[in-house]
Structure 1
Amino acid sequence: MMHYGIRNSFFRIFSTIQWKYGVVNNHGCEMLRDLLCRMVQEKKYSLLVLQALYPNGYCEGNEFVTDNYRFLLDDYLCGIYIEKRMDEKIHPIDYGRIQRSYTNHIESHGVDCLGFPESVAFKEFARIARIKLSYDKRYMYPYKPGCSFERAFDDSLLKKCKYEPNMLYEYGFSLKSMYLYRNLDGSINFVVCDFQSTEGELVKLPLSLWKTPSGRKIFDWLHPAGSFPLYRWDLLYGDRRPVLICEDEEQVEYLREKHPWLLKHVCLTTWSGGKSASIDGTDLGALEDRRVGIIVNPTRDGYKIANKLYLAMKRLGVGPIGFLMPWARLQADHESPSALLSAFDKDVTESMAVKGEVADRTQFVEDARERFDLDFDPDYIATAISGKELLALPVSETEVVLGPMIMKGDKVLVYAHRGSGKTWLICFIAVACASGTSLLDGQLVAPRPLRVLVIDGEMKAHELQKRYAQIFKALGTPEHLQENLRIVAATIQKRDIRLETPEDREHYKEEIAWADVIIADSMFCLFPSAMGSQLEGARGFNDFMRANSLRGKTTIVVDHTGKNKRNSYGTIGKELGLELVLKVEKVKNLELFRLSVEKYRNLGSKDIQSIEYMLDVDEEAGVADLIPSFEEDDDADSEGGVMHCMTHKDMWVGAGCDNGQAPSAQDDDHDAPFSPDELDAKIIAALKEKPELSVRKLAAKVGTSKGTADNRRKKLEQAGLLRPKGFSVEQEDDFGVDRDEDAA
């Protein structure tokens, strides 16, 4: 590590065309703006911008011509434009005239002629041209128009040559360290510089030497292209000791200074900036046949970088390769730099001095999977099977979670406009799946109880408690099945819940592993990035859904509609990988709702019919139920009965034949007498006391679900134990009812 006297006073513009407007919000925007500035000095990127702005424009030599402007596309003045005169004929631009009067960069054209605000002009150009800008791309950018990269130079040139301006100085950054990447002969190939703000933020930029056509040399903040050496490669060459690859240059120098005993056993190195983007260009093949250890950073990205580094070296014949795991750092306070540094010292000492070994590939892969849900399976090799093998494959039938719509492993989105009852519906679905019961008179059926995890990011604790109490009572869910439902709520945890990244999900991994069905409410709270318009914003959401599906877990996420009330809010990228999209909306009046299937992958046409229902909440009785729209409340029926829209199959089901088939002689009720139980006795007693009870109120009174109460009442009527209006008849005394009292 070396320091040189680089200051703003040494910088001057030489061959980089600068942007006319220099004010943006922060250094991050400035770096991206600088990247686009450099990119549009290449003809291919300038053309992308110009063709997007002027689809009727055309190229003529090294110019792009429109009705009113002419843009240069050569190496030195790419992006420069002049305004055409009314009588101007098409001919090569007079370069002297450009220098005298109309010299402007393409960014100023956006501000002066297209109405772009100064601070966001670069973003607009990148957007319309579909040019992706990123900090990694800025770090790795290798092009300087009209100049050639100098691959070897002497240390003295760092003080003698001029430097292009550095945008970081304008935002309070200062040079902290310079790390020289040398060739085997000791000459410098390029430099990595660390800049630090007054708040302690660290930014890395590469520095390289370039030669202009006139022979002059100048340093610019650009990365070399092609292959580039490892850090301190000149010291590693010819040394056969094992190599320990550090996370970045600063870590190499720290170990050399604080742990000099390590140098007796291993060589220390790293690669350019310790960035994932620079691994591919690093000359890792120079470590062929060397024993190598990789220091793993204790973050998800750190594990991914370590794995990418491993694979790159493995392809080149480097090995054996081990991993210095961050066991102590994983347990340390990540908000405390001193705690992390102390934990790092412990990891190094434990692995290298105490145990004298590092973790193997299998240990690393298992930890990555358990800790960050990353799949680095070392033994996995994709193998295709033939069509014959496919047909012979022992595949089990898809398990139904909530028939006929939701299957095991499905990725489901339920969306609605605010106030459309989507959360009520989701609560009912959660309880039905947890208890193995049906909803809406059997239109939605959970065949068996499953373990259900509800992750709620917005509902208040008392409202959650109240709603689930009402639903448990309405569906008659016993206490032992209530245990199948677990709830993680932001208002109970007293902290926001996010599920977008593996680090976010780490807090809930044990609960997620436990569950068969995961319900996340809502997208806005748990996956806020997916609410934007960019496809990239849905990555965290899709990763979460896909990971659960691969493990056989059904995931249901609640979302909101946009202002048009027709589509879910945000990017379409969150719907592309789903098996099922359901929409809930109000219809006809404020009391009627419709559940409709918007997208289905595994359903037949008969399974995608819309379901209309009412939400009936009885605060006094403490119950809530979903009532199909073909059913009217008994309170409004003079006979106290329920009016059904029955099919031919329903007729036989209503007659006590569960399979929907006509009864045979053997099935006749006269041959198989109806045997009432304790629940039937409660129903008879309730209807004797109050014959006009609706099915909902009857269910609440006897402590069962509405569907069960309705079916039992029908069977009692068919068996002759109840009259149509609910009066009991024969055998009343068998249930403890005094016949004489009734007669009175």
Structure 2
Amino acid sequence: MSERDTGASWLDERANTAAKLRPVPSEGPPTPPASAYEETAASMALKSISLGDFLGLNIPPRTMLLAPWLPTSGLAMVYAPRGIGKTWFAMYAGYAVAAGGSFLGWEAPSPAPVLYLDGEMPAIALQERFASIIQSTEHEAAPEALQLLTPDLQPRGMPDLSTVEGQTALEPFTDPAKLIVVDNIATLCRTGKENEGESWLMVQEWALRMRAQGKTVLFVHHAGKGGQQRGTSRREDVLDTVIALRYPKGEDDDAQGAKFELHFEKNRGFYGDDAKGREIELVSSPSGGTTWSWLPLQESTYQRVVDLLNEGLSPTEAARELDIHKSTATRYRKRAERDGLLAKKGGGE
């Protein structure tokens, strides 16, 4: 056999081997014809608008459901570690909107219908909390103003907001609402992996549809081990407001209950004093009512520095304890001396 014949035979053998090893196409669904994509595009009915026409549109101005951080046609999120009081926070905010009342100094200009989606609380605990809220607030909501969906009252459980089926099931309840509280993301948005941005897209599209319909959505979420909101940061992209609740610095996490620092991490449309942090505490009374107290975070830190100085700590030690700058602790010591609040001087620095 000639060298040419030998080479051809070798090439034929390699070609036959490659053909055998080539993956067989899977017997999955056939690729949709181009006409199917065209029909989908047509059903979306996209339309552009010139800048001149856009500027001439009579778009109603945004008003507030709870001023200054919860606007109409808005998207917001509050997140916190377990047990810090984020559900109390969301329930009080929702009830203030339903009643046209106030919460922590934030005002609801007029009552608005609220849908509260609860994903995990026992019905009896939810009932007790709302009874306490009604007992403790000045403005009472109309009986139908706040609607609840909670797992213990559902024969087949709560819908999954990250699926089309779950979103469709909720439509009769979301239609009349102006504020929708989703408490919480982990239990009500169950499909996909929490730390993957693509898993959030279905929920984000639903939230944007709600906003386009003039509704506001307040998501409640857990904080991760590092203190930031758990999972993908993509959740924050379309939000107007992001609120973080954290345990006060220098105090035992397990001892606080509903006592926390509030930080506005994203504040679209409000600034200055409105966006400053606060220290907040929820106190329960023997009669079953609840009372909120709060003060600006800067004042709270000042009081904590004074307490530590009176315990004998130096400004440097107080700064380390509270995770603040030494110059801040020193400045607060001088202020406390002027205010006559020091029982004894801290370490002589």
Question: Out of 385, 391, 402, which is 2:50 matched to?
Answer: 385
**Partner Cα distance (1:525, 1:456) in 2:** 9
Q: Give the aligned residue type for 1:503.
A: E
1:123-272 equivalences under 5 Å are 213=15, 221-223=23-25
Partner of 1:624: 290
**Partner Cα distance (1:583, 1:557) in 2:** 12
* Corresponding position: 1:493 with 2:154: yes
Partner of 2:264: 597
Partner of 2:116: 454
* Corresponding position: 1:481 with 2:158: no
Deviation at 1:574, TM superposition (A): 1.6
Question: Out of 310, 313, 318, which is 2:39 matched to?
Answer: 310
**Partner Cα distance (2:16, 2:136) in 1:** 87
User: Structure 2 stretches of 5 or more lacking a match?
Assistant: 1-10, 297-349
Q: Give the aligned residue type for 2:68.
A: P
Cα contact 2:84–2:259 (8 A) shared by 1: no
Return closer, same or farther for 1:594/1:495 CA change in 2, 3 Å cut-off: farther
Deviation at 1:221, TM superposition (A): 4.9
Deviation at 1:446, TM superposition (A): 0.7
Q: Give the aligned residue type for 1:394.
A: N
Question: Out of 257, 270, 277, which is 1:610 matched to?
Answer: 277
Return closer, same or farther for 1:469/1:222 CA change in 2, 3 Å cut-off: same
Question: Out of 155, 166, 169, which is 1:507 matched to?
Answer: 169
Deviation at 1:571, TM superposition (A): 1.2
Q: Give the aligned residue type for 1:472.
A: I
**Partner Cα distance (1:311, 1:529) in 2:** 24
Deviation at 1:454, TM superposition (A): 0.5
Q: What is the TM-score when the length of structure 1 is the normalising length?
A: 0.35
* Corresponding position: 1:580 with 2:333: no
Higher RCO, 1 or 2 (CA under 8 Å, sep at least 6)? 2
Question: Out of 279, 287, 303, which is 2:32 matched to?
Answer: 279
Return closer, same or farther for 1:520/1:219 CA change in 2, 3 Å cut-off: same
Counting matched residue pairs gives: 279
Question: Out of 195, 209, 212, which is 1:550 matched to?
Answer: 212
Cα contact 1:530–1:571 (8 A) shared by 2: no
**Partner Cα distance (1:495, 1:584) in 2:** 33
Return closer, same or farther for 1:274/1:623 CA change in 2, 3 Å cut-off: same
Return closer, same or farther for 1:626/1:494 CA change in 2, 3 Å cut-off: farther
**Partner Cα distance (1:548, 1:537) in 2:** 19
**Partner Cα distance (1:573, 1:215) in 2:** 47
* Corresponding position: 1:402 with 2:66: yes
Q: What is the TM-score when the length of structure 2 is the normalising length?
A: 0.71
Deviations 1:113-163, CA, capped at 9 Å, x for gaps: xxxxxxxxxxxxxxxxxxxxxxxxxxxxxxxxx99xxxxxxxxxxxxxxxx
Deviation at 1:592, TM superposition (A): 3.5
What SS class does the counterpart of residue 211 from structure 2 fall into?
helix
* Corresponding position: 1:571 with 2:232: yes
What SS class does the counterpart of residue 528 from structure 1 fall into?
coil
Q: Give the aligned residue type for 1:594.
A: E
Partner of 1:468: 130
Return closer, same or farther for 1:592/1:392 CA change in 2, 3 Å cut-off: same
Cα contact 2:161–2:190 (8 A) shared by 1: no
**Partner Cα distance (2:40, 2:199) in 1:** 28
Deviation at 1:504, TM superposition (A): 1.6
* Corresponding position: 1:526 with 2:179: no
User: Structure 1 stretches of 5 or more lacking a match?
Assistant: 1-145, 148-210, 225-271, 285-306, 315-375, 631-744
**Partner Cα distance (1:515, 1:530) in 2:** 27
Deviations 1:559-596, CA, capped at 9 Å, x for gaps: 1111122x001111222221111011221552642221
- Cα root mean square deviation, aligned: 2.9
**Partner Cα distance (2:208, 2:137) in 1:** 32
Q: Give the aligned residue type for 1:405.
A: W
**Partner Cα distance (2:193, 2:184) in 1:** 11
What SS class does the counterpart of residue 419 from structure 1 fall into?
coil
Larger radius of gyration: 1
